[in-house]
């Protein structure tokens, strides 16, 4: 029996304009596919992350009244246990499609059950709060992710990390206890945005990848900026 065609979308996360932000492919599957096929499709699409959604029903959803989907993420060369911007892309795809009419979606993943919640986009105009009801519904998406424990990083190894980040001054470094990523704290969010990393040197650093972060400007509306470099998985820049 022939396989059904696969419908997929390319979503630019963290942006309201096409060809900006962080791209992720969202594939909607009618049936489970083997890992070799999933990896081959991700390699063919060849953007930082491709995620796959399969609707769960029956006994798989008995413990929840919310729609549930199995969610997996692949870079062009490997499966990863969790990906923030691709999860956001998956939630956006489902919330804006005709498949669902709900405000909460649960994703069953290798990192546990993740929740995406659709919330109203309240905008302030001339000091008054109004709900945007323009030609297309405007909404925000809240993601509930697990807390990842961190451990100390040997300060004697700061120098090669700084060199890989083009000589940038490093405030502190932590190491995640799950995926073995390095979290590098820089002096400011502006430094995070302007940094030009040396990907060949990052590939030689300990751990899987390097996350750089710094406090956002006070008038930005954000708490911090960050970027995630994983050249070992052919993802030079993932999220920011």
DSSP characters over 136-198: S--EEEEEE-PPPPEEE--GGGHHHHHHHTTT----EEEEETTT--EEEE-S-HHHHHH----
Say what the pLDDT of residue 235 is: 83
């096929």: which residue's tokens? Answer: 37
The CATH H-level (homologous superfamily) assignment of domain 7-144 is Diaminopimelate Epimerase; Chain A, domain 1 (3.10.310.10)
One fold for 7-144 and 150-233:
yes
**Under a CB-based contact definition with an 8 Å cutoff, are residues 79 and 35 in contact?**
yes
Q: Please say if the pLDDT value at position 126 is more than 50.
A: no
Rounded Cα distance between 144 and 18, Å, is 26
Read off the pLDDT of residues 165-196 as tens digits, 9 standing for 90 and up.
Answer: 999 999 999 999 988 999 999 999 999 999 99
Distance, first Cα to last Cα, the chain:
43
Q: Mean pLDDT check: name the lowest of 6-20, 83-97, 101-115, 131-145.
A: 131-145
Say what the pLDDT of residue 124 is: 38
**pLDDT confidence bin for 140, thresholds 50/70/90:** very high
From the CB of residue 144, how many other CB atoms can be counted at a distance below 10 Å? Answer: 11
Q: Please say if the pLDDT value at position 1 is more than 90.
A: no
Positive or negative torsion for Cα 44, 47, 49, 52: negative
**pLDDT confidence bin for 98, thresholds 50/70/90:** confident
Domain layout of the chain by residue ranges? 7-144, 150-233
**pLDDT confidence bin for 128, thresholds 50/70/90:** very low
Read off the pLDDT of residues 31-69 as tens digits, 9 standing for 90 and up.
Answer: 999 999 999 999 999 999 999 999 998 656 556 789 999
Say what the pLDDT of residue 127 is: 46
From the CB of residue 229, how many other CB atoms can be counted at a distance below 10 Å? Answer: 25
DSSP state of 216: P
Rounded Cα distance between 27 and 2, Å, is 18
Mean pLDDT score, 93-113: 94
From the CB of residue 61, how many other CB atoms can be counted at a distance below 10 Å? Answer: 16
Candidates 174, 172, 217; CA nearest to 194 is: 217
Higher pLDDT residue, 132 or 226? 226
Q: What's the CATH architecture for 150-233? A: Roll (3.10)
Higher pLDDT residue, 126 or 146? 146
């Amino acid at each position: 029996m022939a396989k059904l065609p696969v419908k997929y979308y390319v979503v630019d996360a963290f942006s309201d304009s096409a060809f900006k932000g962080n791209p992720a492919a969202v594939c909607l599957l009618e049936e489970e596919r083997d890992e070799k096929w999933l990896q081959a499709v991700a390699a063919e699409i060849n953007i930082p992350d491709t995620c796959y959604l399969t609707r769960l029903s029956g006994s798989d959803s008995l413990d929840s009244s919310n729609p549930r989907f199995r969610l997996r993420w692949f870079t062009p060369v490997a499966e990863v246990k969790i990906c923030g911007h691709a999860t956001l892309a998956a939630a956006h795809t489902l919330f804006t499609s005709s498949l669902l009419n709900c405000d909460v979606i649960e994703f069953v993943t290798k990192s546990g059950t993740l929740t995406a919640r659709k919330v109203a986009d309240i905008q302030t105009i001339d000091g008054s709060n109004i709900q945007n009801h323009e030609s297309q519904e405007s909404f925000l998406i809240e993601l509930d992710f697990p807390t990842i424990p961190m451990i100390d990083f040997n300060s004697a190894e700061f120098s090669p990390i700084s060199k890989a980040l083009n000589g940038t001054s490093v405030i502190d470094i932590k190491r995640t206890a799950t995926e073995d990523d390095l979290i590098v704290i820089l002096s400011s969010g502006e430094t995070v945005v302007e940094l030009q990393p040396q990907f060949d040197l990052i590939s030689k650093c300990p751990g899987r990848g390097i996350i750089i972060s710094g406090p956002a400007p006070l008038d930005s509306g954000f708490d911090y900026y960050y970027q995630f470099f994983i050249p070992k998985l052919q993802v030079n820049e993932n999220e920011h």
